[in-house]
Structure 1
Amino acid sequence: MPAESRRDRWRRALARRVGIDARALAAFRVAVGLLVLADLGLRARHLTAFYTDAGVLPRSTLAETAPALASLSVHARVGSWRGQAALFALTAAAAAAVVVGYRTRAATAGTCYLLLSLYLRNRYVLNGGDGLLALSLLFGVFLPLGGRWSVDAVRSADRPRRVATPATAAFCLQLVVVYLANAGFKLHGGAWTSGRAVRYVLELEQFSVRLGPYATAFPELLVAVNWLWIGMLAASPVLVLATGRRRVLAVAAYAAAHVGMLLTMRLGLFPLVVVAMLSIYLPAPVWDRLERVVAPAAGRTAGLQDRLRARLRDDPTLPSSVARAGRVAGTVVVAVLLVGSVVWPATALAGVERPGEAADVETDGYVWQLFAPTPPTTIRWVVAPATLATGERVDALDGSAVDWTPPDAADTYPSTLWHRYLAETRNAGGATRRPLGAYLCRHGAPGRKAAVRSVSVYLVEKPIPAVGGGDRRRIEVVSRDCNPTRPDRATAASGSHFAGRDHGPVWPATASSSGSATTSASTAAASSPTCCSPSPG
């Protein structure tokens, strides 16, 4: 008996730490569904540009450069904006069903599949938040997200209060794995271990927005924030190990850190996705208090719930053997997901050399490596001079006057998606970048009536002040004559150093002729080392 009692105590202690309150799962469900709707809204603004054959990645280019992705994406079966709009609407309907908790498991699975399909259609406009959002939905398929605060809960007599299963354990560990992996990468970077990294990041104008630029005036404070964040990442197991009030304080601290990211950096939905994931760690007393606060409003919906209950029928009960097989399969899948999420970053981390002053990779993409091992030290902005049929020269992306020295690099990108696309494709081959020129010939210079006669896209970069600053340099991404009888060129190696303000003519490419559109980034970099070599720091 004593041994059995001890075993029971261990089980209760484990359940307290890896179990999830059913109301926390409901809040997470609502948050994730709303985030999917927000993500769709942001992407729908650029539906033609990023998801149709008339955009920067037509299906022919996707099939040529990534045939496996093209075969897996249902969005790659459709090339028109109408077809993509229909798929967007279908995904939005599934996400709305997740929000209200109607046929929750099926809606979650459908949303996950359609969102992954959308992401595979154009991988150049993704970041770490997108990966976490899809992963959250995938875990959600195996969690009882509709147990509370849902249409499914109205028609069910079963109202679970707390859920402790292999799926909840794996999901509780998932965010901790992300934090620990990121801590490992940061500890391999000289900028992080010297306390300089946060200042580097906030001096990157393409990422630093809202309060970020003002924070750079306090370098000593940023050193403290640097070490505080590394400490929090390393201490992230506290989210699972702590209980009660200590866990609430831990969740509040991590949520505050991500809200701070939202207020200082342009990272898409990433901070909000992590805050949604943090909600699953909140214990029962938090939800008890929340229910007491909203009880008066909830009482006014009692009549609606009764009418719903009268109209909705319970789902038929599955045979016990089928239900048991489903649970076993679900356990295997979540175990594979968790193991994969550990092995993937561990393998990548093993290839990082210490002290790890990494190449200047701008993207905020991989969630394991967010600004690690070493953040970039180069400010980059985009300039896209286009010549109209009238002879006027304007910016092809927004129709404004061409400005080589804008006051804020972030403002030169039409949106976060355009920033991601240009950051991800700047070193890609010509086959990937060539459609960009064609797209801007058709849709460039918005708000201008005259047709675009020729267009070029440049990334202009300069070192951040923290590493001493320096001269600016231009890197030609693509250049195109919009006359259909004349070919375009796509190159990443026509950089040139320059100083001062320059509104003069676009400089010609030096790494490819006007008749070549397939020069790879590696070949171009070798032929023009002054263009694409990383900045010092």
Structure 2
Amino acid sequence: MDDGSGVGATLAERVGIDARALAAARIYVGLLLCVDLFLRARDLRAFYTDSGVLPRNVHAELYPTLSRVSLHTLSGELWWQTLLFVVAFVVALSLAVGYRTRLSTAVSWVLLASLQTRNYYVLNGGDKVLLVVLFIAVFLPLGRRWSLDARAGRSTFDGGDGQVVGFGTAALLTQVVLIYATNAVFKVRSDAWMAGDAVPRIFQVERFTIFLGPYLNEFTTLLVAINWLWMAMLVASPLLLLTRRWLRAGLVALYLGAHLAMRLTMDLGLFAEAMWAGLLVFLPPVVWDRVEAAVMPLETGLSDWLDDRPRLDEMLRPAGPVVPARFRRGVARALPVLTATILVVGLLWQAAAVGVVPTPENSPAEPKDHSWKLFAPNPPDGDGWYVATGELASGTEVGVYTHADTSFDRPADVGETYPNARWRKYLTDLRFGSDHRIEAFAAYLCRSGAETHGERITEVELTFVYEAIETGDRTRHDLGTYRCPGE
């Protein structure tokens, strides 16, 4: 590897990551975390406090282990959740600008993991991708370029400023490919995907389609072609690792474009945005040479601006390490072992998920239940909406579904009865959930209904109306009648 030839050089070129790619990914992930926090804040009370849909006592009954490891469960009050959101936002900004980069990365991961475990029911695939990428990034030199750490001469890495090669880079690149490859295995085993029917069916589900999606639904032949194109891209995903230079750049552009198309047609939460973060690090040096040439005037201008303001520059420069030197040396020695373990565990986990290797006995989780499926093996075959009727203390019957005025008649747009991707995720699985979960949601409707109508709600009747895509037949799923708290 040192002489730039042979197997080592070939391997390094494929599993190495340009330092500028890591810097770009760091900036992007930091800003993405800020956006995620801003969007989650819209439902801060509903999803993360004791007055919401998952009070801590219910969370502890459903997830006793997770409830003990989440910082967000230390208090069910709004002020505590707000404080943690503000801290996470500040740390994410610190990550974006590269201030004490490794520490900012680690703290961002801890806070993100804590937030996600506080309410597992609102998570989608994008959240899991972001958590995995951020975890592996803790072990990578994200502050080598385009950071305040680098300006201060305190890069969190050993070596020069070019290509970064190691088990950590291999783990990150491999994990991104595994997301596609594992999904390909599940889809190849699906009759709907192998018949070309999956994508046309998905676009008939109104709760997923946005922007251009409803218009694209009219072109069935095009959707069938997209079905096969996406299948081909999933199967061909290992080429992201095997190719190099401009061929790799072209493939990355193709996958980036595919996820942009998803963002313009379907509401899949943060999936597209999280995958962009993983794909950025695949871009080879030939791309970053041109990017750097383009941003050089901006970088130089910012550097000169800080030079003209020495006091501000001094404030922004990290004063020195916050971790003792002995500890840092120990971590540096352990880093290859840690990153190699991450790489191997990631490979074995996905291999177990698709059945290539057996799941270990006494495994705390089933790999196939926590793998990259995304509408696999079978896409949804129906749509649906909730109807919630409450009885006021005065005896009047009112609608208490907080997101739309629904009835047993089909809404004009089913998708509009789900205000965002997190509510859709929570509500889609609710009808299959435990009694504790449904009761907690009914209690939330009692409280929100009383606030809306200015009068106490005595009971709530909750129903889900399911509509089959092919036949249009509707089925009512009675989820029960619940007495409101205090009755």
Is the shorter-chain TM-score for this pair beyond 0.5, marking a shared fold?
yes
CA distance in 2, matches of 1:109, 1:130: 17
Counterpart pick for 1:154 among 134, 151, 169:
151
Q: Which has the higher contact order (CA 8 A, sep 6+)?
A: 2
CA contact (8 A) 2:350 2:371 kept: no
Counterpart pick for 1:373 among 356, 361, 377:
377
Question: 1:347 corresponds to which residue?
Answer: 352
1:272-293 deviation line (CA, Å, top 9, x unaligned): 1101211111112222222222
CA contact (8 A) 1:399 1:444 kept: no
| RMSD, aligned α-carbons | 2.5
CA distance in 2, matches of 1:276, 1:348: 24
CA contact (8 A) 2:25 2:280 kept: yes
Question: 1:489 corresponds to which residue?
Answer: none
Aligned positions, number = 467
CA contact (8 A) 2:167 2:343 kept: no
Structure 1 unmatched ranges of 5 or more: 353-364, 486-537
CA distance in 2, matches of 1:152, 1:384: 54
CA contact (8 A) 2:20 2:288 kept: yes
- Give how far 1:387 is off: 3.8
Change in Cα spacing, 1:31 to 1:273, as seen in structure 2 (3 Å) is same
SS in 1 for 2:65: helix
Question: 1:68 corresponds to which residue?
Answer: 65
- Give how far 1:349 is off: 2.2
Question: 2:335 corresponds to which residue?
Answer: 330
Change in Cα spacing, 1:431 to 1:483, as seen in structure 2 (3 Å) is closer
CA distance in 1, matches of 2:11, 2:55: 50
- Give how far 1:183 is off: 0.3
- Give how far 1:72 is off: 1.2
User: What does 1:209-358 correspond to in 2, within 5 Å?
Assistant: 209-306=210-307, 307=310, 310-311=314-315, 312=317, 315-316=320-321, 323=328, 325-350=330-355
Question: 2:473 corresponds to which residue?
Answer: 471
Change in Cα spacing, 1:314 to 1:18, as seen in structure 2 (3 Å) is farther
CA contact (8 A) 1:387 1:453 kept: yes
1:200 is aligned to 2:197: no
Counterpart pick for 1:480 among 473, 479, 482:
482
CA contact (8 A) 1:22 1:147 kept: yes
CA distance in 1, matches of 2:318, 2:115: 33
CA distance in 1, matches of 2:399, 2:239: 54
Structure 2 unmatched ranges of 5 or more: 358-368
CA distance in 2, matches of 1:244, 1:281: 10
1:12-52 deviation line (CA, Å, top 9, x unaligned): 22111111111111110111111111111122111111111
- Give how far 1:447 is off: 4.8
CA distance in 2, matches of 1:253, 1:43: 30
Question: 1:46 corresponds to which residue?
Answer: 43
Question: 1:114 corresponds to which residue?
Answer: 111
Counterpart AA for 2:36: D
CA distance in 2, matches of 1:403, 1:41: 34
CA distance in 1, matches of 2:439, 2:80: 24
1:250-293 deviation line (CA, Å, top 9, x unaligned): 00000111111111111011101101211111112222222222
Change in Cα spacing, 1:442 to 1:317, as seen in structure 2 (3 Å) is closer
1:72-100 deviation line (CA, Å, top 9, x unaligned): 11111111111111111111111111111
Change in Cα spacing, 1:40 to 1:320, as seen in structure 2 (3 Å) is closer
CA contact (8 A) 1:395 1:402 kept: no
Percentage of pairs with the same residue: 42
- Give how far 1:202 is off: 1.1
SS in 2 for 1:331: helix
Counterpart pick for 2:22 among 10, 21, 25:
25
Higher deviation after alignment, 220-229 or 284-293: 284-293
Moved over 6 A (4+): 4-7, 317-321
- Give how far 1:341 is off: 2.6
Higher deviation after alignment, 292-301 or 205-214: 292-301
